[in-house]
Amino acid sequence: MENKKDNFKRISENRVSKILQLLSQLTNLSNSSFYEYSDEDIIKIFETIDSESTKAKEFLLKSNDKKKKNKRFEL
């Protein structure tokens, strides 16, 4: 049976790999033969990505801090 750390590692590696693959695909939009966009469009896309990334990071760090604070004292 997988422990929590192994489970986190396995799932997070899969999810981060998917995110990186999708970001790589996003660069395909730079082909001006097929797409037209403005600087404002690109700024909006990356502001949204940055915002959601920051939210996820803060949530994970806050959740991790709660675990540390709620740890019982042991001898």
Torsion on CA atoms 24, 26, 27, 31, rounded to nearest 10: 140
Q: What is the pTM of this model?
A: 0.76
| pLDDT reading at 72 higher than 90 | no
Residue 74 lies in a domain: no
Per the structure, the count of domains in the chain is 1
Distance of alpha carbon 52 from alpha carbon 17, whole angstroms:
17
HSE-up (13 A, CA, CB side) for residue 38: 3
Domain of 10, in residue numbers: 4-26+35-69
| pLDDT reading at 64 higher than 90 | no
Among 46-50, 58-62, 68-72, whose mean pLDDT is lowest? 68-72
- When the pLDDT of each residue in the chain is averaged and rounded to a whole number, the result is 90
Residue 61 lies in a domain: yes
| pLDDT reading at 70 higher than 70 | no
pLDDT digit string (tens) for 14-32? 999 999 999 999 999 999 9
Residue 14 lies in a domain: yes
Tokens of 41: 């469009």
Tokens of 25: 């695909």
